[in-house]
Amino acid sequence: MIALKRADRKLSLILVLIAAVSTTLVLQAAELGAILALAAGIGVLVAAFILGNPYFGFYTLLGFSFFMFLPSRLVNVEFPIGFICEILTVLLLMSTLIWFKGGHRQAAGMFSSPVTVFLMIYLGYLLIEFFNPNMRSIQGAIFYYRKVFMFVIIYFVSYALFDSVEKVVQFVKVWLGLMLFAGLYACKQQWFGFFDFENRWLLSDPLLVGLYYQGGMFRKMSLLSDPSAFGIGCAASSVFSVVLAINARSKKVKWLLYTTGLVMVLGMLYSGTRTAYIVLGAGFALMGVMSIQSKRNLLFMAAAVVVFLGLAFGPFDSPAVNRFRTIFQASEDASLKVRDVNRAYIRPYMLSHPMGGGLATNGVEGEKFNPGHPLAGLPPDSGYLKIALETGWIGLLVLCGLYFVIMQQCIYHFYSHRQPVVKSIYLAFGCSFFSMMIGHYGQVAIGQFPGIIFFFAGMAIVARLHRLPSSNKSPQINKVYPT
């Protein structure tokens, strides 16, 4: 146990070192065989460490989710990164089951949480979808379930691992540290250009060029899968960081969090993801409503409005700012008109199929697993629309019920809990989650790595945080809220 605690305190440093060494080795590797040999050797070693320490396993999965797209871009060859994530998740689950005692006591508290109850209801509904007669491919359903069960495992493992406020704070530090690195990487791409291997990868596919080059600049994806995932992740994480910064006790921590938030806002602008601007605004708006009694929050909101108006109407001329200003020209946007046409076309199908068309029947997944299906190939353009098409309006209602419970728990414990650090974390997760839920209307904002780990781990924290013990040493976010 002593060794486990010592390893737990050093996880952040270990994660950074592993990421740096791995990235350096991959960038220096010139042949696919060298990369595969390196990956195999590291894989065996990492698996042994994961089984020996579940905290190492969790942060390895989190770190890998940030860097997993780099090797494919380096050699322009697709790697089975999804399968690797599944292996890491299974190893993490095994390690957690091996090392944690008193699981029956943790399970009792976990399954009494409203968040867990509604998550299980939604999972049960998805299992019923297996018998949907409109679905034509069992293989597609299995593909869908693999992803869902991986996310559920992350939730349960996070509930077990984050058994003190200090460990929750550590998770927050690691997440924001990784997002800060991703934001700085995007700034490098914007200010100094892409690396040569990134240019080769982009220019090798005309479709990628068309998707990435818009408004006179290449949209920046940083380390993540695409500009949309990166932009939305930056927006939600910036909200998270700024909420913590406003309520931080230490000036050093406060300005570090503000700087982190600013870097992520820059990354969001450079990604050119218009949905991310709505995500950012929604998160800050909820923060202002929930903490309207705080003068600091009101001052920040006033400053944010001034910056927003300056970007929207000020004498600035750059591709990133011009891309931001297109959100005020929605009526003239051709892509939005196409989305409206698609939604009007598919609405009768959605209303006439209360359980939807079946799992993995929409979009690219539909073309792969259910070719010829009425939904196959239809771009969903919205996370909620995709759920409604595949699981019906019943599934959409169940999912919205889960999101409602998550927000209810954040708001309730923010106002009812007396420990300042817990209140601050609940406010940060509530504002960040709300922003992602709003963004889910415009795009699939919840479901891509690494943001999905943040979401499900955060769900577990929301479900358990108010029950956790804490010392007065670690938490640095200690602004007293009026109650």
Once rounded to an integer, what is the mean pLDDT over residues 289-313?
78
301: pLDDT confidence band, cut at 50, 70 and 90?
Answer: confident
DSSP for 93-110? HHHHHHH---HHHHHHHH
Once rounded to an integer, what is the mean pLDDT over residues 418-437?
95
Question: How far apart are alpha carbons 239 and 264 in whole angstroms?
Answer: 9
Which 8-state DSSP code applies to residue 218?
A: E
Q: Tell me: the pLDDT tens digits for 48-89?
A: 899 999 999 999 999 999 999 998 898 887 878 888 899 999
Which 8-state DSSP code applies to residue 213?
A: E
Reading the block at residue 168, the tokens are: 């929750």
pLDDT number for residue 16:
52
SS3 state of residue 10: coil
Question: How far apart are alpha carbons 206 and 336 in whole angstroms?
Answer: 22
Neighbours of 92 (CB within 10 A): 25
For the chain, the farthest-separated pair of C-alpha atoms sits apart, in whole angstroms, at: 62
What pTM was estimated for this model as a whole? 0.88
483: pLDDT confidence band, cut at 50, 70 and 90?
Answer: very low
Given a cut of 90, is residue 257 above it in pLDDT?
yes
Reading the block at residue 308, the tokens are: 């927003």
pLDDT number for residue 104:
55
Reading the block at residue 225, the tokens are: 């899968």
Q: Tell me: the pLDDT tens digits for 463-482?
A: 999 988 765 444 443 443 33
pLDDT number for residue 45:
85
Question: How far apart are alpha carbons 313 and 300 in whole angstroms?
Answer: 20
User: For 220, phi and psi rounded to 5 degrees?
Assistant: -95, 135
Question: How far apart are alpha carbons 36 and 23 in whole angstroms?
Answer: 14
Q: Tell me: the pLDDT tens digits for 168-183?
A: 999 999 999 999 999 9
pLDDT number for residue 1:
43
CA distance readout (Å), 44 to 39, 50, 71: 9, 10, 18
